[in-house]
Structure 1
Amino acid sequence: MKKYFFLLLIVLLTAPVFAQQAVQYSQYMFNGLYINPAYAGYRGPVNFHTYYRSQWTGMPGGPSTLALAADMRTAGDNVGLGLNLMSDRVGLEKRVYAYANYAYRLRVGWDPEDRLAFGIGLGFIHSGFDNAAARTEDPESVNIENSFLPDARFGVYYSTNTFFAGVGVDNLISQLIFNDNNGSTRIPPVTQYYITGGGIVPLATDILLKPSILVKNANNAASRAWTTDLNAAVIFAEQFTFGLSYRTALSSGKQLSESLKRPNSIIALAEFVAAGQFRIGYSFDYALNRINNQVGGTHEISLGYSLNKGTQRVRTPRYF
Structure 2
Amino acid sequence: MHPRGIVLTFFTQVLFLTVLLGLSHQALAQQDAQFTQYMYNGMYYNPAFAGKEGGYRFSALHRSQWLNYTTSTGTGGAPVTQLLTAQGRLKGRNIGYGLTLVNDQIGATGNLEINLQGAYHKKINRGTLSIGAYAGIFSSAVDYGELVVVNPEPNLPTSGTENQVNFNFGVGLLLDKSRYYLGLSSRHLNEPVFDFGDGSYDNQLRNHSYALLGYRFRPVGALTIEPSLLVKMVSFNNFSYDVSVMATHQNKISGGLAFRGEESVSLILGYSLLRDNSLRLGYAFDLVVGGLEAKSPTSHELMLRYVLPDVTRQIERVIQRTPRFRF
Secondary structure of 2:203 counterpart = coil
Say yes or no: does 1:156 pair with 2:156.
no
Offset of residue 181 of structure 1: 8.8
Q: Secondary structure at 1:146's aligned position in 2?
A: strand
Q: Of the candidates 245, 254, 275, which is equivalent to residue 232 of structure 1?
A: 245
**Residues 193 and 203 of structure 2 are in contact (CA less than 8 Å); yes or no, is this contact kept in structure 1?**
no
3-state SS of paired residue (1:34): helix
Gapped regions of structure 2 (runs ≥ 5): 1-26, 70-75, 314-327
Give the counterpart of 1:108 among 116, 124, 144: 124
Supply the distance in 2 between the matched residues of 1:238 and 1:130 (Cα, whole angstroms).
45
Partner of 2:235: 219
Letter aligned with residue 48 of structure 1: F
Q: What is the deviation of 1:22?
A: 2.5
Q: 1:180 to 1:20 in 2, by over 3 A?
A: farther
- TM score, norm. by length of structure 2: 0.77
Q: In the alignment, is the contact (CA less than 8 A) between 1:145 and 1:184 conserved in 2?
A: no
Output the CA distance in 1 between the equivalents of 2:98 and 2:40.
Answer: 16
Does 2:221 correspond to 1:205? yes
Q: Percent identity?
A: 27
- Which deviates further from its counterpart, 291-300 or 22-31? 291-300
Q: Is the 8 A contact 1:58 1:296 kept in 2?
A: no
Q: Distance between the aligned counterparts of 2:144 and 2:194, measured in 1?
A: 21
Bigger drift between 121-130 and 184-193 goes to 184-193
1:44-98 per-position Cα deviation (integer Å, ceiling 9, x unaligned): 1211011011111131220011110000011124000000000111101001111
Distance 2:202 2:79 in 1: 17
Task: Tell me which moved more, 119-128 or 199-208.
Answer: 199-208
Counterpart CA distance in 1 for 2:204 and 2:167 is: 13
Aligned ranges for residues 1-320 of structure 1 at < 5 Å? 19-59=29-69, 60-109=76-125, 111=126, 114-134=127-147, 140-141=157-158, 145-173=162-190, 175-176=191-192, 182-183=198-199, 185=201, 187-219=203-235, 224-248=237-261, 263-274=262-273, 275-291=276-292, 294-311=295-312
| Runs of 4+ with deviation above 6 angstroms | 135-139
Kindly provide the amino acid, as one letter, of the partner of residue 40 in structure 1. A
Amino acid at match of 1:88: D
Query: Contact 1:21–1:225 at 8 Å: present in 2 too?
Result: no
**Residue 228 of structure 2 contacts residue 243 of structure 2 at CA under 8 Å; is this kept in 1?**
yes
> In 2, are the aligned partners of 1:81 and 1:103 still within 8 Å (CA)?
yes
What is the RMSD computed on CA atoms of the aligned residues?
2.7
* 8 A Cα contact 2:193 2:204, kept in partner: no
Q: CA deviation at 1:246?
A: 1.4
SS of the equivalent of 2:39 reads: helix
Q: Assess if the C-alpha contact under 8 Å between 1:198 and 1:211 holds in 2.
A: yes
Specify whether residues 64 and 155 from structure 1 end up closer, same or farther in structure 2 by C-alpha distance, changes over 3 A only.
same
Q: Number of residues paired by the alignment?
A: 276
